[in-house]
Amino acid sequence: MLEQLKREVYEANMQLPKLGLVTFTWGNVSGIDRKQGLYVIKPSGVDYEKLTPEDMVVVNLKGEVVEGKLNPSSDTPTHTYLYNHFPKIGGIVHTHSPWAVSFAAANMDIPALNTTHADTFYTDVPAANALTKEEIAEDYEGNTGKTIVQTFQDRHLDYEATPAALVSQHGPFAWGETAAKAVYNAKVLEVVAQEDFHTFELTHRSSELPQYLLDKHYYRKHGKNAYYGQTNAQSKTHAKRK
């Protein structure tokens, strides 16, 4: 069942150690088949070297395991909540990558200070509201998803334009149209977190990216007038042939 998606999610998981985003087994990627309402996620606590595509666990949108010999990631309820409330995402990744965790530990947003940030994230990446003692006791992982969604609602953020969030004193979640795109966004987040940290070390002056530069970079890559890369070149060629 979902063999192709299992392979994609397996490969996306294997990118995490290669990109320096995980230590030991601290991370997980999932990817969803929206038509079937099923998603595929890494099993809990399995070493990346030992992981195989067949180990991936199939889960439904109620968070129930549909297929798999191993237990799914302990963060599965967070993934379930995000898939249910962010209906256009196709993949989710969670890591404990150290620069993003540093901002999460400080309970600070990762601010938009440079164009690398603006190429992928249209706003500051928000630090989600911290969970209460009761929320942690009641349903820790489910409420982790809930506080991310609530933070996006409270701050009128668009989850497609800003495809990541920090969980307070914990770490980042990132998402995207596919599992591979979610991993890409998680890596960009880690890079900009490191850059922001160094910018703060270098200057105490405000380094906020002006809105016109943020707009320029974000919309160069996203939306109907995007022109970065080769996609447009191809479509122009096709248009000429008609």
DSSP-derived pairing of the beta strands 164-167 and 91-95? unpaired
Beta sheet of 164-167, edge-to-edge order: 65-67, 57-60, 38-41, 27-33, 91-95, 171-176, 164-167
Q: Write down the catalytic residue from 109, 119, 140, 219.
A: 119
Instruction: Count Cα neighbours of 13 within 13 Å in the Cβ-side half-sphere.
Output: 32
User: What's the CA gap between 222 and 232, in Å, rounded?
Assistant: 12
Dihedral of CA atoms 23, 24, 29, 30 in degrees, nearest 10, equals -170
Question: What residue type is assigned to position 151 of the chain?
Answer: T
Tokens (6 digits) for 205: 């002056």
Angstrom CA distances, 122 to 147, 163, 217, stand at 20, 9, 9
Query: Can 139 be counted among the known catalytic residues?
Result: no
User: What's the CA gap between 141 and 80, in Å, rounded?
Assistant: 10
Query: Can 119 be counted among the known catalytic residues?
Result: yes
Q: Which residues are catalytic?
A: 119, 228
